[in-house]
Amino acid sequence: MRASRSLAALTGSALLGIALTACQDQASGQIVARHNGRIVQNLTNPSVKGCHRFPEGITQVTNQTQSSLRLYTTPDCTVPPGGAYVFLDIGATDQVVRATGLWNSFSFAPE
């Protein structure tokens, strides 16, 4: 028996939806990290899990992903005593404030 076009389209859509759901462990887009204007790192579709360490201290981060970030001055995504992380929203760019120091790592904010 031949399957109708509608059934084939529905089946194809369902398979695509399952495939896209399986890829949610990656942030869609790019994160651009700079040190004094020089691009240090350009990450495309990074994993949303865990802590990501920058190769050197960063002065500016542009978040072109579909997820919000947390920026840390420590290399292991921890907040030092008396410190805090910086929240960087979707599509935003932020620069460090001299008093806080350079950013050394980031993680994705839970959604």
Residue 11 has pLDDT above 70, yes or no: no
Residue 34 has pLDDT above 90, yes or no: yes
Percentage of residues in the chain having pLDDT higher than 70: 78
- DSSP reduced 3-state for 110: coil
Planar angle of CA 63, 25, 44, nearest 5 degrees: 40
Is the pTM higher than 0.85? The answer reads no
Residue 20: phi, psi to the nearest 5?
A: -70, -35
What is the predicted pLDDT for the residue at 57?
95
Q: How confident is the model at residue 111 (pLDDT cuts 50, 70, 90)?
A: confident
Please give the structure tokens belonging to residue 6. Answer: 């509608």
**Separation of alpha carbons 59 and 51, rounded Å:** 18
Q: How far is CA 67 from CA 5, 91, 109, 110, in A?
A: 36, 9, 7, 9
Which residue did the predictor score with more confidence, 62 or 7? 62
The residue ranges of every structural domain in the chain are: 25-108
What is the predicted pLDDT for the residue at 4?
62
Secondary structure of 46-106 in HEC code, one letter for each residue: CECCCCEEEEEEECEEEEEECCCEEEECCCCCCCCCCCCCEEECCCCEEECCCCCCCEEEE
Q: Give the tens place of pLDDT for each residue, 73-101.
A: 999 999 999 889 999 999 999 998 777 88
Residue 23 has pLDDT above 80, yes or no: no
What is the predicted pLDDT for the residue at 100?
81
Q: What is the mean pLDDT of the chain?
A: 85
Q: From 2.10.25, 2.60.40, 2.60.120, 2.60.20, which CATH number describes the 25-108 domain?
A: 2.60.20
